[in-house]
Structure 1
Amino acid sequence: MEQKYQGAVMDIIDKSALKKSDLIETSKLKYFIRCMLAGMFLTLGTAIAVMVAEKAEHMLPGSGKFFYSFMFAWSLVMITYMNTELGTSNMMYMTAAVYRKVLAPKRALLILFSCILFNLIGGVIASYIMSLTNVFQALPAEHFLFHAVEGKLAKTPLQMVSEGIFANVIVNTTVFVSGHMKDDAGKLFSTIFIIFIFAFLGFEHVIANFASFSLAFFANGGPVTGMTIVSVLRNWLFAFIGNYIGGGLLIGLLYAWMNNGTQKYVD
């Protein structure tokens, strides 16, 4: 009799998808709030990262990006340990869940797009409130935050898509790596150093861009150079496409397919 093997990580993905589905079915409000909190934690991570980067540039020119990347990685630590909902990781969860017939496509789409929408709402609200704090008053035009956002808006669609692919491959790799870790210390270090990769390379993460664009807008008192409704929506669209290819297809669908059937080689 053939035995259908199941990997530890794929078990986690199945259970997580079902847990998300149960929450949105029993209380949409609670699910939406968890999504908004993820936007808030990304805003907090972005805020401390750009401020540390700005200070580092003054102390040691050229070091700002390194310190930014290290500090930004803590966003994902907060999101993970505070049990909030992030749209880019849900791209993987929902795609794998549909392929593995854990969730119906309609339910998976509801979870994914609700999550992304409320990540945006949470990020915008948190960014506005953050812009009212003392540290974000009267930032100079050459501040690290503004330069970073201007650079993102100046990228071509091909750059945004390709960088979005790798960004979400990296984000969802942390799910697999953490799933193999036996203790919190391992999960912590793996999350920080893997997320560091996409942050340092400047790859495009649509949910992180919700936070950084909003924070730059409110802190600047209006649009920064190159920021228009069209340029912002353009970035979010192409980053989303890249993120879905990377997280939804290359990680979610591919690993669900590789773990399907009667095999001993499982994840």
Structure 2
Amino acid sequence: MKPVSPLFEQIDKSINKKMNLFQSSFMRYAFRAMLACMFLTLGTAVAFAIAMKGEDIAHGLGKMLYAFMFSWSLVMILYMNAELGTSNMLYMTVGVYRKKINLSFAAKILVACIFFNLVGGVLFGYLISLTVPYQDLASDSFFFTSIAGKLNKTTTQILVEAIFANIVVNTAVLVSMRMKDDAGKVAAIIFIIFIFAFLGYEHVIANFPAFSLAYFASHGTMAAMTVGSVAHNLFFALIGNFIGGGLVMGLGYAWLNNADTNYLD
């Protein structure tokens, strides 16, 4: 019998928890998925609000402040046990590979998670757009120009950036699972997520609240924001995120740990 690494014992337990909740109380699962985007919306909102203040102080400061503050989103998601589609890309792929869940059930969980992430992103993006920091923003603000930049990327840029974005996100998830000290865990998550946030990589779930907030805060006046540009970004970000999180990190590490060796994670 092949040895099982402590890390994959934790992953197996997480997969079982997700399966049990999905089967026993679908609405509770859906609510946890919506909560993930509530935390992402809050993280996105405070990150951009502080970034806009930072840009008033010095050009370039805003981007650094944005990346640091956005990183707290994943801390909230992990500690509050919310269901995030991009981390579930790893869990479900690992589960299928390790025969802990069949392909159709894994697909149901992942699709439901992403759908309710979207519902949460639109809902909480709208609600945050009603708050004071997002009233009467200038069309050339750091927030709007950042979102326009995302919507103007080429297919190749979105795809490659999305791959690396979810490699980073799932690295943070796996690293946090291996750490016992909460302070170290939080610090690790923040500085790892900082990588993709600062580099501006594409994360399909994070874009749900970001695009929604931009749409409602601009009252639909952003020239770069069309149905086509949003669909283009989200579609290829979704594919890239699955490649990075599901195939590279999920399948890759599941394969690495499916060996009769002591070199396990």
- Which band: TM-score by shorter chain? over 0.9
In structure 2, C-alpha distance between the alignment counterparts of 1:178 and 1:89, rounded to whole Å? 13
- 1:234 paired residue number: 232
Deviations 1:68-87 (A, max 9, x none): 00000000011011100000
SS at match of 2:174: helix
The reply to whether residue 145 of structure 1 matches residue 143 of structure 2 is yes
Which segments of 5 or more consecutive residues in structure 2 lack a partner in the other structure? none
- 2:264 paired residue number: 266
- CA shift, 1:225, in A, is 2.3
- CA shift, 1:134, in A, is 1.7
8 Å CA contact 1:35, 1:115 repeated in 2:
yes
Q: How do 1:109-188 residues align onto structure 2 when only pairs under 5 Å count?
A: 109-188=107-186
In structure 1, C-alpha distance between the alignment counterparts of 2:138 and 2:211, rounded to whole Å? 16
- 1:38 paired residue number: 36
In structure 1, C-alpha distance between the alignment counterparts of 2:9 and 2:223, rounded to whole Å? 46
- 1:60 paired residue number: 58
8 Å CA contact 1:8, 1:179 repeated in 2:
no
- 1:204 paired residue number: 202
In structure 2, C-alpha distance between the alignment counterparts of 1:125 and 1:4, rounded to whole Å? 46
In structure 2, C-alpha distance between the alignment counterparts of 1:98 and 1:67, rounded to whole Å? 39
2:72 to 71, 74, 77: 74
SS at match of 1:139: coil
2:19 to 18, 21, 24: 21
Structure 2 residue identity aligned to 1:119: N
In structure 2, C-alpha distance between the alignment counterparts of 1:182 and 1:24, rounded to whole Å? 28
8 Å CA contact 1:170, 1:197 repeated in 2:
yes
SS at match of 1:43: helix
Structure 2 residue identity aligned to 1:242: G
In structure 2, C-alpha distance between the alignment counterparts of 1:263 and 1:110, rounded to whole Å? 34
Structure 2 residue identity aligned to 1:30: R
- CA shift, 1:261, in A, is 3.2
- Normalising by the residue count of structure 2, what TM-score does the alignment of the two structures yield? 0.98
- 2:192 paired residue number: 194
Which segments of 5 or more consecutive residues in structure 1 lack a partner in the other structure? none
Deviations 1:114-156 (A, max 9, x none): 0000000001000111111122111111111111110000000
8 Å CA contact 1:35, 1:84 repeated in 2:
yes
- Normalising by the residue count of structure 1, what TM-score does the alignment of the two structures yield? 0.98
In structure 1, C-alpha distance between the alignment counterparts of 2:98 and 2:222, rounded to whole Å? 44
- 1:252 paired residue number: 250
Equivalent residue pairs, number: 265
In structure 1, C-alpha distance between the alignment counterparts of 2:72 and 2:83, rounded to whole Å? 15
Q: Percent identity?
A: 56
8 Å CA contact 1:168, 1:244 repeated in 2:
yes
Runs of 4+ in 1 over 4 A off after TM superposition: none
SS at match of 2:101: coil
Structure 1 residue identity aligned to 2:219: G
Q: CA RMSD in A?
A: 0.8
